[in-house]
Amino acid sequence: MPTYSREEVEAAFEKTRKAQDANDWNAYADCFHEDGVYVEHAFGTFRGREKIRAWLVPIMEPCQDWTFPTEWCVIDGNRIVFKWWNRLPGRRADGSRYEFAGVSILIYGGDGKFASQEDIYNFDETRTVMREWRKDHAGG
């Protein structure tokens, strides 16, 4: 695979951030090559843009009020590794946020699109935070 310019890789990454910030998961899926691969350890491996879309759009539908800030990002050639937060709306009584962190690895594949993404996070922590948020804010 050829190595692409840092500017090209950064521009493609910025496109994913804009789609994510807008909660536009169809646009996020469009950031992958037709034969892209998305590895999500809790839900499986999705091969092909349309399989990614078919999983991603419905799973993110309940998360429309969430934000997804990036804490840090490293770009090395075609690889982007970044730490992000899944941040639910509202705060606990002590002022802390309902959130859980993860790390993603994106491999850029040219033409403004990614060849793959892998998400790594603690799914037990995810369930705990979501259960706590529902109890405190959604009545159950």
Q: What is the CA radius of gyration of the chain?
A: 16
Domain count, the chain: 1
User: Is 1 among the domain residues?
Assistant: no
Q: What is the DSSP secondary-structure string of 81-131? A: EEEEEEEEEEE-TTS-EEEEEEEEEEEE-STT-EEEEEEEE-HHHHHHHHH
The parent domain of residue 128 ranges over 6-137
CATH code of the domain covering residue 76: 3.10.450.50
Q: Say if residue 88 is exposed, middle or buried (CB neighbours under 10 Å; 0-12, 13-18, 19+).
A: buried
Question: Which residues lie below 8 Å from residue 49, measured CB to CB, with a gap of 6+?
Answer: 29, 30, 32, 33, 34, 35, 36
Q: What is the pLDDT of residue 2?
A: 85
Mean pLDDT of each 10-residue bin along the chain, 140 residues long: 93 97 97 98 96 97 94 97 96 95 98 98 94 81
Q: DSSP character for 27?
A: H
Q: Name the CA dihedral angle for 25, 29, 30, 36, rounded to a multiple of 10 degrees.
A: 170
Q: What is the pLDDT of residue 139?
A: 58
Q: What is the pLDDT of residue 137?
A: 82
pLDDT for 117-136, tens place per residue? 999 999 999 999 999 999 99
User: Is 95 among the domain residues?
Assistant: yes
User: Is 31 among the domain residues?
Assistant: yes
Number of H helices, E strands in the chain: 4, 6
Q: What is the pLDDT of residue 55?
A: 98
User: Is 10 among the domain residues?
Assistant: yes
User: Is 30 among the domain residues?
Assistant: yes
User: Is 33 among the domain residues?
Assistant: yes
Q: DSSP character for 62?
A: G
